[in-house]
Structure formats: C-alpha cells, structure tokens
Amino acid sequence: MDPLLDHRHVRRAFARAAAGYDAAAVLQGEVRTRLLESLAYLDDRVPAVVLDVGCGTGHAAAAMKRRWPKAKVVALDLALPMLREAKRQAGWWRPFARVCADARALPLAEGSVDVVFANLCLPWVEDLPAAFAGFRRVLRPGGLLLCSSFGPETLLELREAFAMVDPSSRAVPFAPIAQFGDALVAAGFRDPVLDRDLFTLTYPDLPALLRELRATGMGNPMVGRRRGLAGWARFAAAEAACEPLRDAAGRLPSHWEVIYAQAWAPAPGAPIREGGHEVATVPLAQIPIRRRT
C-alpha cells in the first residue's frame, strides 16, 4: 500500500516548530495534562522504565520523572530540535534520556518498558495497528499504554472550507474512536478504555488559525498535497467560505476532537489477533523439550 503521509515533511514541520512550540500549543498542553491524570490507574506501582513517545518539548517526560524519581524515563521524538528543547525540562537534578527515533520503529528491546505514554503523536502514524503492535512489543506483561489522538471532527470547518475551494484537496484522515479501539484490540491489548473530548477554539480570522497550525507543526503532510493554495484567489475563496461560521462575538470557531485511550499489555501466552484469528504465543523457555538419546 502506498504511504498516505510524507514523514519527512512531518519531521521537518515539527523541527521548525520546536523553538516556539510551547507558546502556541495550548490545546496540546491541556490534552497532555488530562492524559497524565490517567497515570493514577497505576495505583502505588512504581515503574522501572517509562517511555514518552512523541515527547515534543519534554513536559510529560519531566512530569513523569518528578512523579517517579527512581524510574528511567526515556523521551523519544522524530524531530531532533524538539529533543533539544526537551533538555530544558530535564534539569541536572532529574534528567531523563532523550532519543531521536520514529514511533513506527521503536529502538527498544522487547518487554523492556512498564509505561508507554504517547500524547498526540498518533495522528501522524497512518498504520495504527502496526504502531500499537510496536508499543505492545516494548511493553512488559501488564504494562500500561496511555495515548491520545485527534478524531475526525478535528478542524472540520477548515477541511470543509478548503474542500469547497478545491474538491480534490486531501487532508490527514484522523481515525474515529471505533477504529482506534479496534486497532488496540488487533494489537493484542487488554481491557482498553476509550474516551473523547470536543474542544472549541476561536480565532480572529483564517490566517490566525493557519499560523497556529504551522507554529505547532500541524501542516498538511499528505503525499501529493498542493504546495500552498496556488494563488490568492483560492485563499480568498477559503476565507469567504469560513465567514458564515463566525460566532456571536465575531470570531471564527475551530473544533478539535480528542480521543484518549488506556490499555494493558497482556500476560505471556495471552492470545493475540492476526488476520482476524486469535493466536496464542508462549515463550520458548516455557515449552518442554524432550531430547532424543
């Protein structure tokens, strides 16, 4: 299957956004705070290794290091400038490791992590079951996955405005909550719990919204995307399409659907799903071998 997303574009967009990301990413910070609250499900357990996938500027990694000072916290991101910004959050007194790598190919050993935390990095991963399978691979049995993503109602007004101007335009296909849950189950996770929030942000005009998207790395990474709007005429038409949407205060609304999920890595030997069928896996060490003499 041909890729939908240009991952080099994703990396460059977040690299360019790194220096000013925190000032612009108000919504992302709120989602991070809500996802961190779910760490309470670990009760009094103290993880040995925590992985923050798509760590951005490192605020979640720093918060988890404060919560568990003795844990090894690994902050992982595709964009090296984000990791440089994340170093500011670490501090010499509670440092955490920083790794530049792709969420689609985690460079960690199987069964080496107790908690995988992934805040809003999954919108830029087109194969959710494969990503979740990678998360499950690195988690120890009974390990916790906490993640969030954008749902299909995100930026609906903006998508519709540009679709009116150019019906052939393509936007990132954010997965709905049902597809999100199915992907978790397909990867073999147990007891998934999903929730969603709908946020409404407002802007003085369309250029202000687009500036914020660029400042948070959220350009259009679709393969075959238009390079810009191909002229002021198209941009003006998109602005005109947005005008009827203004609220009573005269501001342009933008809706954001956020999906949250928590799930647990199964015990050794628990069945996983492959091709619609359950397959039991048992560690080789637990299989009795009778030797011929």
Residue 66: CB atoms within 10 A of its CB come to 11
Within-domain flag for 207: no
What pLDDT score was predicted for residue 291?
40
211 domain-assigned: no
Which helix (H) or strand (E) covers residue 31, if one does? Answer: helix 26-37
pLDDT reported for residue 91: 73
Which structural domain range is residue 84 located in? 7-155+173-201+257-268
pLDDT at 221: 62
CATH assignment at residue 74: 3.40.50.150
CA distance 78 to 83: 9
Residue 101, domain member (yes or no): yes
Q: What are phi and psi of 70, to 5 degrees?
A: -90, -5
Q: Are 205 and 158 in contact (CB under 8 A)?
A: no
Q: Report the distance separating Cα 101 and Cα 107, nearest Å.
A: 7
pTM over 0.85: yes
- The string of DSSP codes covering 226-256 is -STTSSHHHHHHHHHHHGGG--TTSPEEEEE
User: What pLDDT does residue 6 have?
Assistant: 82
Q: What is residue 289's predicted lDDT score, i.e. its pLDDT? A: 37
Q: Tell me the C-alpha distance between 85 and 97, whole Å.
A: 13
Per-residue pLDDT of the chain (293 residues; tens, 9 = 90+): 556 778 898 999 999 999 999 999 999 999 999 999 999 988 788 999 999 999 999 999 999 999 999 999 999 999 999 999 999 998 767 789 999 999 999 999 999 999 999 999 999 998 999 999 999 999 999 999 999 999 999 998 888 887 777 665 667 789 999 999 999 999 999 999 999 999 999 999 999 999 999 999 987 766 555 555 455 777 788 888 888 889 999 999 999 999 999 999 998 766 555 444 444 444 434 433 334 43
123 part of a folded domain: yes
54 in a structural domain: yes
Residue 18 · residue 83 · CB < 8 Å: no
Closest CA to 149 of 126, 115, 133, 169: 126
Instruction: Find all residues with CB under 8 Å of 207, minimum gap 6, and list them.
Output: none
Total structural domains within the chain: 1
Asked, for residue 11, whether it belongs to a domain, the answer is yes
Largest CA distance in the chain: 86
Between CA 54 and CA 209 the distance in angstroms is 23
CA distances from 194 to 147, 184, 287 (A): 10, 10, 36
Query: CA-CA distance, 268 to 149, in Å (whole number)?
Result: 28
CA distances from 271 to 187, 204, 241 (A): 10, 52, 50
